[in-house]
Amino acid sequence: MEFLKLLFNRSKAFYLFMLFLGLLKGAFNVALLRFIDMAVTQSPIAFFPEYDWLLFIGIVFISLLINIFFQSYMVRLTSELNMEFELAVLRKINRASYENFERLGQGKVYTAIGDIRAMANLPEVFMNAFNAIIVVLCCILYMYIVSPVGAGIVVTIIAVLLTVYLVRNNKIEKDLNIHRNLIDDYHRYLVDMLSGFKELKMNPGSNNRIYSDFLEVNRKKSKDITISTNISYMNNELTGSYSWYVLFGVVIFLLPRFFGLSLNETSAFLITVLYLIGPVTVLVTIIPFYTNIKIAIQRLIKFNKEVSDTLSDELPYKNKIKFKRSFEAITFENVTYKYANQNDENGFSLGPINLTITPGELIFIVGGNGSGKSTFINLLTGLYRQSEGTIKFNDEIVTLQNHENYRDNMSAVFSSNYLFFENYTEHDISPNNDRLVNYLKQLRLFDLHFIPAKNTIHNNLSKGQQKRLGLVYALLDQKPMIILDEWAAEQDPEARKFFYEELLPKLRSSGKTVLLATHDDDYFHTADRILKFDYGKIASDFKTSLTETT
């Protein structure tokens, strides 16, 4: 029923349209049944018996046209619904906060897209189900016209058998939900294995465990549930198929002997039951598909809610609230951030932090692993929202309504830098862009492969080259602030020396504010200011001798 609700929300006239077509199809199916019955009993039609063949062809042709029209309507409506559902998921992921995305995980996103893909066959299935329901109702109506008592007995038996089938199917639905959870886990394990392939190869124990204790165990559980549900479906379908013999026995032996059905009435019932086999079989075989779709839609609605929970106050990028002036200062006032563990209890916390960042500063962020550097960078870049305190851009408080514009004042190259395969910016990534070529030369990036058709550069590079190319792209943005997280870690000594002693001073002299998380203490003297983090707090904030002499 969830799908019908979605269709109704998409098209308010859907139910009226379906009712109208249902009445037409019902009339045609009753007419077809009557034709078959009269042909078997050798009874002529009431009017124009010499043209019965022409009337039969007309009924079939009109029924075909109605089916084609309704099928086309369902294809368009369902395709639009699938597109809207998928775009809604992608739009909300696009607007989701980084914190929410971290909690959600990539695995659930892939599963949600898979759930949407599962709905691709809905038009055909729904059309078959709708036709089958109409035929079943017409057959029941026809049996009641022939013999109300006999029809009541047959309908009761069908209802009992269907109830047994649905009760057994309910257990299968629970197993399918478990299977969906296994798919979520499976995608998460795959992301870990593919994204952390290098790290796994460096740790044979972890490499073996991710396969044997996670991937293999997950796939075996999935296989067992798949076998169990398929066998259950098969048993249900076999039971349903053999139930028709029970109905035939009732019509052939029980109804004539105990309820006085005549030969013609018995013949009509047998024809109707035979006519029922096809549509009822369609409905029974659709139940597993419906169960999967029901679960998919329920999980998509839940997924949408999970992603939407933090979006209620955010504005789209096009509607963002802009700051009154360009970058003059960023101020942290008693800013703290607290991580929540799985029990919603506070884990590691950062702060309180009080500091001011002004244009043209070259600031190094230092400290050991787990000291809070990365959390501070995520707060500074607006990827995290502070738990307490205030962040100001110039003299304006950064809020959910203006944080997109706040982030738009800075570029970043993170430690896990990712280069996109496509060019999603408006930059000219070609040898004709003099600024681009100049940056590439400065960062010693030569013999790169430009792809004119995609307006981009092939990113099959070493990790150090990828970081350098990422910095080039950040410089093309021409934003007043650049955040670099462990940028020099993968650079060779020559590139590292050039970066600290030539490039950073040039950026500072051009008026850019640069914040760099680093462990290269040999170059600390090149900074204007050093922020040292320890146990989630700023242990020291001091200016270097370079600053004092300039």
The most confident of 3-12, 399-408, 521-530, by mean pLDDT: 521-530
Give me the pLDDT at residue 333, please: 93
Q: Which long-range contacts (CB under 8 A, 24 or more apart) does 468-471 make?
A: 468/443, 468/444, 468/495, 469/419, 469/443, 469/445, 470/413, 470/417, 470/419, 471/413, 471/443
pLDDT in tens, 388-408: 999 999 888 888 778 778 888
**Euclidean distance between CA atoms 242 and 19, whole angstroms:** 33
Residues 207, 208, 210: CA angle, nearest 5 degrees: 70
pLDDT in tens, 145-190: 888 888 898 888 888 887 877 777 777 767 777 887 888 788 778 8
Specify which residues 484 forms β-bridges with. Answer: 413, 516
Beta strands in 158-296 (DSSP E): none
Give me the pLDDT at residue 10, please: 60
Segment (H or E) for 356: strand 346-357
Give me the pLDDT at residue 312, please: 43
Q: 62: Cβ–Cβ under 8 A, 6 or more apart, which residues?
A: 28
Compare 543 and 473 and report the one with higher pLDDT.
Answer: 473
| Residue 383 binned pLDDT confidence (cut-offs 50, 70, 90) | confident
Compare 34 and 150 and report the one with higher pLDDT.
Answer: 150
Q: Percentage of the chain surpassing pLDDT 70?
A: 83
The most confident of 85-94, 264-273, 340-349, by mean pLDDT: 264-273
Residue 364 has pLDDT above 90, yes or no: yes
**Euclidean distance between CA atoms 265 and 81, whole angstroms:** 46
Per-residue pLDDT, averaged over 72-81, amounts to: 75
pTM over 0.85: no
- How many CB atoms are closer than 10 A to CB 316? 11
Specify which residues 390 forms β-bridges with. Answer: 333
| Residue 204 binned pLDDT confidence (cut-offs 50, 70, 90) | confident
Sort strands 388-393 and 396-397 into parallel, antiparallel or unpaired: antiparallel
Q: Which of 112, 144, 130 is nearest to 66 (CA)?
A: 130
Domains of the chain, with CATH numbers? 2-177+236-308 (1.20.1560.10), 319-549 (3.40.50.300)
Locate tokens 């294995």: which residue? Answer: 193
Sort strands 362-366 and 456-457 into parallel, antiparallel or unpaired: unpaired
Per-residue pLDDT, averaged over 69-79, amounts to: 76
Evaluate whether 288 touches 280 at the Cβ level (below 8 Å).
no
Q: Which of 370, 367, 365, 379 is nearest to 335 (CA)?
A: 379
Evaluate whether 512 touches 482 at the Cβ level (below 8 Å).
yes
**Euclidean distance between CA atoms 7 and 14, whole angstroms:** 7
Amino acid identity of 114? G
**Euclidean distance between CA atoms 336 and 246, whole angstroms:** 72
Evaluate whether 300 touches 118 at the Cβ level (below 8 Å).
no
Give me the pLDDT at residue 390, please: 93
Residues 474, 476, 479: CA angle, nearest 5 degrees: 70
Give me the pLDDT at residue 7, please: 58
pLDDT in tens, 232-282: 878 877 777 788 888 888 888 888 888 888 887 888 888 888 878 878 877
**Euclidean distance between CA atoms 180 and 186, whole angstroms:** 10
Q: Which of 362, 395, 398 is nearest to 481 (CA)?
A: 362
Helix (H, G, I), strand (E, B) or coil at 340: strand
